[in-house]
Structure 1
Amino acid sequence: MLRALAFPRWARASPLRPRVVILAEERRAVASNVMTPLPLSYTVFDGPSPQPPLVFLHGLFGSKTNFQSLAKKLVLQTGRKVLTIDARNHGSSPHSPLMSYEAMSADVQLLLHQLRLHRCVLIGHSMGGKTAMVLSLQRPELVERLVCVDISPSETSAVTSFQAFVAAMRAVDIPWGLPRSTACRLAEEQLRSTVQEPAIRNFMLTNLVSSEGQFVWRVNLEAVSHHLDEIMSFPDFQTPYSGPTLFLGGSKSGYISSNDYPEIERLFPQAEIQYVPDAGHWVHADQPQLFLAAVCNFLELPPP
């Protein structure tokens, strides 16, 4: 059984809202020290097992649909319920000028509370992996196990091109009234000089949506651009998460290196680090079968 929750168009901020409005709203929010959790869009894939559900958190520019086929397979293989979630400013979730890991963690906590899920397995890729880490460090009682896909609790600016990607997406110019095929072709052509890998361009183009005859980016590039340094970093924590943890990297990716091992061990003392062969940053897309096998094996391990 598949249940989905989507937010009506009026509940989401326009991706083309002026920067001055966003910055003014953010100043008011920071000044009042208020961080209101947002009601996230999500999909539930029901399974019969009473064991804690699996909760997928996607990366930057992604959405809950990235894990849809994997979620269905995991229901069949584990019997567990699986949730896929749109982060704030992504997919069908509301937009907000705030884009911190603390805010994204609070959003997920609100959803778990609303669904009366008192314990879960968090599986997060990239930005979603850092959100999962923050939630486990803040509220360890909610997290049975943690899987961080090709990301570590370290600064990632040195191994990413996301700043250039955001600038390229913001520079895309598509005339009004074009059919989707033409709009996608024009956007792809304009992105090509900066985003040279076709798979990454196609991934970014999943954010191109039609709104009143104009194609716009579904992801809130204004908020992402303003908080990109924060998204590439990681908050400071002193108390570790002692639950079972798997850091699952791609063998062709530099997002989890030996330089990250000391910080991983400090914050996640029960962590295992594995690398999926012939996989880049998008491990689950490059090697889906090996990714599923690694997750299922990790779920079967007894608690320490």
Structure 2
Amino acid sequence: MRRWLGRPRLCLLQAARAAPRPRDPPRAPAGTRGWCGSAAGRPSMTPLPLSYTVFDGPAPQPPLVFLHGLLGSKGNFRAIARALVQRSGRKVLTMDARNHGESPHSATMSYEAMSLDVQRLLRQLHLPKCVLVGHSMGGKTAMTLALQQPDLVERLVSVDISPTESVTVTNFQAYISAMRRVSIPSGIPRSTARRLAEDQLRPVIQVSAVRRFLLTNLVEAEGQYMWRVNLEAISHHMANIMGFPAFHSPYPGPTLFLAGSDSPYVSSEDYPEIERLFPEAEIQYISGAGHWVHADKSQEFITAICNFLLLP
């Protein structure tokens, strides 16, 4: 039975057919598995060695692999990972995407490239199959990998993101612009540096939880404070990050779109494209959660993941 949190009990197909569609979201032209279009002028897609953390569990089932969102890091899912090891017994893996956290920086920033990074790590760790759980940018990376290499993915969870363009609902470009304007003198205590950075972000970013999230990227190196995310590369490739590659072969495995009821990132307008690419998908909305579902409603998030894994 379809499980829904905080929204009417409608199956995906019914909801997609009944949903009003005042406008059609922009779509890339249909293509083959992987990235569509000409390879001419495209940067080399050399996979990068990602930084990761393993939370070990005794269960033999495929591990859960968490992919964070834009401007996040593997630390975003530390508490969630520990809880899921206890609940499921499965091994849980968290990783930093390229240009984020402790992973290498690169001028290339596309979902094809980020999918190859994850595939490289799965091969390195001898993981032939996994449950992919991706939030926002990580959700689009997870969807790309599942659509390209469905045999690697036992199940797929996309957290508060759909396989469509996100440019009309996002504030991330404003966040990045505000972060790039932050100026902090060297040689001051970390607490002072964080307070100065937050003061400079506040005029643009009024929500304190969002400011705290962004400030997790502030690091010190030899007395100088800087952002550990590659803001230049991310800003340059924002159109790629807000978009989604074109596919016409669906992922046939079980898929969960887990969204916040207070977030605009998964709407009824997205249902037809979700159904086309993920025919076995179910959609759940967690009541009272925004875009950062796992932070806003962590217990409900963990329960939804466990239910999707068919755990008692």
What SS does structure 2 have at the residue aligned with 1:91? coil
Counterparts of 2:107 and 2:194 in 1: how far apart (Å)?
27
Deviation at 1:229, TM superposition (A): 1.1
Identity of aligned residues (%): 70
Pair 1:51 & 2:61 matched:
yes
Read off the aligned partner of 1:274 and give its amino acid letter: Q
Q: Give the structure with the higher percent helix.
A: 1
What SS does structure 1 have at the residue aligned with 2:257? strand
Cα deviation per residue 1:71-127 (whole Å; 9 max; x = unaligned)? Answer: 011001000000001000001000001010000000000000010100000000000
Name the counterpart of 1:121.
131
1:201 to 201, 205, 211: 211
Deviation at 1:32, TM superposition (A): 7.5
Provide closer, same or farther for how the CA distance between residues 202 and 113 of structure 1 changes in structure 2, counting only shifts above 3 A. Answer: same
Read off the aligned partner of 1:156 and give its amino acid letter: S
Q: Say if 2:132 and 2:142, in contact at 8 Å, map to a contact too.
A: yes
Pair 1:300 & 2:300 matched:
no
Counterparts of 1:33 and 1:165 in 2: how far apart (Å)?
26
Read off the aligned partner of 1:82 and give its amino acid letter: V
Q: Say if 2:43 and 2:108, in contact at 8 Å, map to a contact too.
A: no
Read off the aligned partner of 1:201 and give its amino acid letter: R
Cα deviation per residue 1:7-49 (whole Å; 9 max; x = unaligned)? Answer: xxxxxxxxxxxxxxxxxxxxxx974752110000000011111
1:102 to 112, 126, 129: 112
| Coordinate RMSD, CA, aligned | 1.2
Name the counterpart of 2:168.
158
Greater RCO, CA 8 A, separation 6+? 2
Counterparts of 2:269 and 2:44 in 1: how far apart (Å)?
36
Read off the aligned partner of 1:72 and give its amino acid letter: R
Structure 2 spans left out of the alignment, 5+ residues: 1-38
Name the counterpart of 2:14.
none
Counterparts of 2:205 and 2:43 in 1: how far apart (Å)?
38
Counterparts of 1:49 and 1:176 in 2: how far apart (Å)?
48
Counterparts of 1:87 and 1:33 in 2: how far apart (Å)?
18
Name the counterpart of 1:215.
225
Read off the aligned partner of 1:148 and give its amino acid letter: S
TM-score, normalised to structure 2's length?
0.86
Please give the residue correspondences for 1:1-304 in structure 2 after superposition, counting only pairs within 5 Å.
Answer: 31=41, 34-300=44-310
Provide closer, same or farther for how the CA distance between residues 63 and 157 of structure 1 changes in structure 2, counting only shifts above 3 A. Answer: same
Read off the aligned partner of 1:267 and give its amino acid letter: L
Read off the aligned partner of 2:226 and give its amino acid letter: V
Structure 1 spans left out of the alignment, 5+ residues: 1-28
Deviation at 1:177, TM superposition (A): 1.0
Cα deviation per residue 1:168-207 (whole Å; 9 max; x = unaligned)? Answer: 0000011111110111011000000111100000000000
Aligned length: 273
Read off the aligned partner of 2:207 and give its amino acid letter: E
Provide closer, same or farther for how the CA distance between residues 299 and 220 of structure 1 changes in structure 2, counting only shifts above 3 A. Answer: same
Runs of 4+ in structure 1 off by over 4 angstroms are 29-33
Counterparts of 2:163 and 2:71 in 1: how far apart (Å)?
20
Read off the aligned partner of 1:66 and give its amino acid letter: N
Read off the aligned partner of 2:124 and give its amino acid letter: Q
Read off the aligned partner of 2:76 and give its amino acid letter: N
Counterparts of 2:42 and 2:277 in 1: how far apart (Å)?
31
Counterparts of 1:250 and 1:33 in 2: how far apart (Å)?
35
TM-score, normalised to structure 1's length?
0.88
Cα deviation per residue 1:134-185 (whole Å; 9 max; x = unaligned)? Answer: 0000000000000000000011111110011110000001111111011101
Provide closer, same or farther for how the CA distance between residues 65 and 33 of structure 1 changes in structure 2, counting only shifts above 3 A. Answer: closer
